[in-house]
Amino acid sequence: MSQDLYTYGANNRIIFKVTLNGVGVPDLTFQDEDINVSKDNGDWLAIGSVVTEMVSASDGKGWYIWTPASAGLTQCEDLVINVADASGSAFDENGIVLGTGNDPSARF
């Protein structure tokens, strides 16, 4: 896992890969609690129900998109997205860390 840079207070889409044993898993429908986000070590917010597949299942390679509903969801220094199958083992647990610089005028 690495930290990627993201614009503070933006609602641009965030793209990430979901894998099982290192291989991308297409055509998933997430439960809300499968994917959670935390701002600056705050409480987890379940977002799985609003994550969509990047391309259709027949062409997909396990890439998914979350678009924050509001800029307030990314008004933080660090944004952590945790991916874990809450009800089974359809995909590996993983995560992504996004750093914003905690500055509304910063651009990365």
* 84-98: average pLDDT: 94
Using the Cα atoms of residue 92, residue 36, residue 61 and residue 88 in order, give the sign of their dihedral: positive
| pTM, rounded to two decimals | 0.87
What are the DSSP E strand ranges found in 1-108?
Answer: 3-5, 14-17, 19-20, 23-24, 35-39, 45-46, 52-53, 63-66, 78-83, 94-99
Instruction: Name which CATH class applies to 3-99.
Output: mainly beta
- On the question of pLDDT at 86 being above 90, the answer is yes
pLDDT tens-digit map of 20-47: 999 999 999 999 999 999 999 999 999 9
What CA–CA distance (Å, rounded) separates 53 from 77? 27
Provide the CA 17 distance to its chain's centre, in angstroms.
9
Percent of the chain predicted with pLDDT > 70: 91
More confident residue, 84 or 104: 84
Using 50, 70 and 90 to split pLDDT, how confident is the model at 57?
low
More confident residue, 7 or 23: 23
Residue predicted with more confidence, 51 or 4? 51
pLDDT category of residue 50 using cuts at 50, 70 and 90: very high
CB 32 within 8 A of CB 48: yes
